[in-house]
Amino acid sequence: MKFESSIQFAKKLDSQDPLRSFRNKFHLPKINGKTSIYFTGNSLGLLPKSTKKFVDEELNDWAKLGVEGHFHSKRPWLHYHKFSKKALSKIVGAKPSEVVAMNQLTVNLHLFMVSFYRPTKTRFKILTEAGAFSSDQYAFESQVKFHGLDPEKTIIELAPREGEYALRTEDIIKAIEENKNELALIIFGAVQYYSGQFFDLEKITKAGHEAGAIVGFDLAHAIGNVPLQLHKHEVDFAVWCGYKYLNSGPGGLAGAFVHEMHENNSNLPRFAGWWGHNDKERFQMKKGFKPMEGIDGWQVSNFPVLSGAAQLASLEIFDEAGGNNLRQKSILLTGYLEFLLKSIENNQEYFSIITPSYKKERGCQLSLLMRKNGKKVFDIITKAGVIADWREPDVIRVAPVPLYNTFEEVFLFSRIFQNALR
């Protein structure tokens, strides 16, 4: 599409947007009484108006039924993990039996590293992207130490080439081949939280498997943002959080995927709990853990129903909007933002967009590396009503989200940002 830099053009795109009514399904935060330009769905997704109804239903059932709600509530609490399976499986490209909502992201990362990071004397290394999110780094480091290994000699952090901000797929494949006899696990953030780069999951997984390694992904910035095909691409495992693009609320319910090829592998070690135990016998309280088939067997504790209810509200919206429609709009919305930012006179003097320009290599986020006065610019745009995200030392991340952001907001943001530069 040929973009134009005018408010009329932005409004025209909004009027043609088949998803334009979805914005009304969300509460939009205000700054000084005025609706903000909320470009931080990559940090905390907005509250769907329907969430209150979903949570209230559980509160009412709790009030009415007490413990009996486990069996007799509208959505019986005993089976709550099942109610999100269909929607989650569509979002990550999996079978319902391969996904489950549970815990928090880093907890899930640990649980799956326990099962899938099984270092031996010769095959013990982990390959990941340099500058992975801190919590992931701490998880990798502590898991490596747990096995009595030295993180320095075990974790390979792959950085982009000198002067570049994104990793080239060919360089990732090369690193896999170079380390093929020693690699135990390859784990990347599917969308890199800082740069916004969307990695080629298919190629990385294929190369990883050819090298004899297990391949997992952290989908924190990918789920609900970019198209995923975890089953088809034979990814071994993946973990995610629910509070970003999935709009499940602060500290919202996370989740995980395990490919069905591992479904019945009872040799995989795991840290078990009663909610992963064969549900036919769960309440017999017997000795001897027998996991349920598939990913359900990785559950540990009983299900957090109130967080789960909040997530169901958002998943219903995703289902209604449709993954393809969301992606189509997202490509246009972020493409328009990129066009407007690149139209700013002498833009290179002030900032560089470090997120890849190619649509297959990014989701909705653009990361702006500020060449001067980054924090000052950020403070000015915040005062002007933009909620964006500052990442030390010098990046402003902006993420127009197709479910609730508009082309007009993208246009207004570009003007506010341009004025703040000078």
Q: Does 137 bind ligand PLP (CB under 6 A)?
A: no
CB 241 → ligand PLP: shortest distance, Å? 4
- Secondary structure string (H, E, C) spanning 193-238: CCCCEECCHHHHHHHHHHCCCEEEEECCCCCCCCCCCCCCCCCCEE
CB of 217 to ligand PLP, least distance (A): 10
> CA 393, CA 202: separation in Å to the nearest integer?
32
**Nearest distance from C-beta of residue 5 to ligand PLP, angstroms:** 32
309: its two tokens: 């209810």
Binds ligand PLP (CB under 6 A): choice among 189, 255, 294, 374: 189
- Decide: 19 and 329 in contact? Cβ < 8 Å: yes
CA distance 403 to 325: 10
* DSSP, residue by residue, 231-269: TTTT--EEEE-SSSTT---TT---EEEE-GGGTT-TTS-
> Minimal distance in Å, beta carbon 185 to ligand PLP?
16
- Is 358 strand, coil or helix? coil
Please identify, among the stretches 103-111, 145-153, 330-338, 376-384, the one whose residues bind ligand PLP according to the rule CB under 6 A. Answer: 103-111
Does 143 bind ligand PLP (CB under 6 A)? Our answer is no
Cβ nearer to ligand PLP, comparing 133 with 165: 133
Smallest distance from the beta carbon of 1 to ligand PLP, in angstroms? 31
Among 243, 293, 241, 301, smallest CA distance to 265 is for 293
Q: Minimum distance between the CB of residue 133 and ligand PLP, rounded to whole angstroms?
A: 3
User: Which residue lies nearest ligand PLP, judged by its C-beta?
Assistant: 106
Compare residues 18 and 251 and give the one whose CB is closer to ligand PLP: 251
Q: Which is nearer to ligand PLP, 10 or 254 (CB)?
A: 254
Tokens 């898991």, residue located: 143
Pick the closer one to ligand PLP by CB: 10 or 401. Answer: 401
Residues in Cβ contact with 248 at an 8 Å cutoff, skipping those fewer than 6 apart: 45, 242, 307, 310, 311, 314
Q: Which of 77, 124, 133, 417 binds ligand PLP (CB under 6 A)?
A: 133
For the CB of residue 197, give the shortest distance to ligand PLP in the complex, in Å: 12
Least Å distance between CB 192 and ligand PLP?
A: 8
Beta carbon nearer to ligand PLP, 189 or 297: 189
Segment 254-283, which members bind ligand PLP (CB under 6 A)?
254
| Residue of 136, 236, 296, 338 that binds ligand PLP (CB under 6 A) | 136
Among 5, 50, 135, 179, binds ligand PLP (CB under 6 A): 135
Does 36 engage in binding with ligand PLP (CB under 6 A)? no
Q: Answer for the pair 204, 218: CB distance below 8 angstroms, yes or no.
A: no
Integer CA distances (angstroms), 247 to 98, 252, 332, in order? 21, 8, 21
Residues in 195-254 at the binding interface with ligand PLP, rule: CB under 6 A: 218, 220-221, 241, 254
- Which one of residues 92, 105, 317, 398 is an interface residue with ligand PLP (CB under 6 A)? 105
How far is it, in rounded angstroms, from Cα 210 to Cα 217?
A: 17
Q: Is cis: bond before 393, omega within 30 of 0?
A: yes
Q: Which two tokens stand for residue 218?
A: 């952290």
Q: How far is the CB of 407 from ligand PLP (least distance, A)?
A: 27
**How many residues bind to ligand PLP according to rule CB under 6 A?**
13
Residues in Cβ contact with 8 at an 8 Å cutoff, skipping those fewer than 6 apart: none
3-state secondary structure of 391: strand
Name the segment binding ligand PLP (CB under 6 A); options: 99-107, 209-217, 260-268, 280-288: 99-107
Helix (H) or strand (E) holding 309: helix 305-321
Give yes or no for residue 129 binding ligand PLP (CB under 6 A). no
Counting contacts by CB under 6 A, is residue 366 touching ligand PLP? no
Q: CB 189 → ligand PLP: shortest distance, Å?
A: 5
Closer to ligand PLP by CB, 105 or 312: give it.
Answer: 105
Are 128 and 140 in contact by the 8 Å Cβ rule? The answer is yes
Binding site for ligand PLP (CB under 6 A): 104-106, 133, 135-136, 189, 193, 218, 220-221, 241, 254
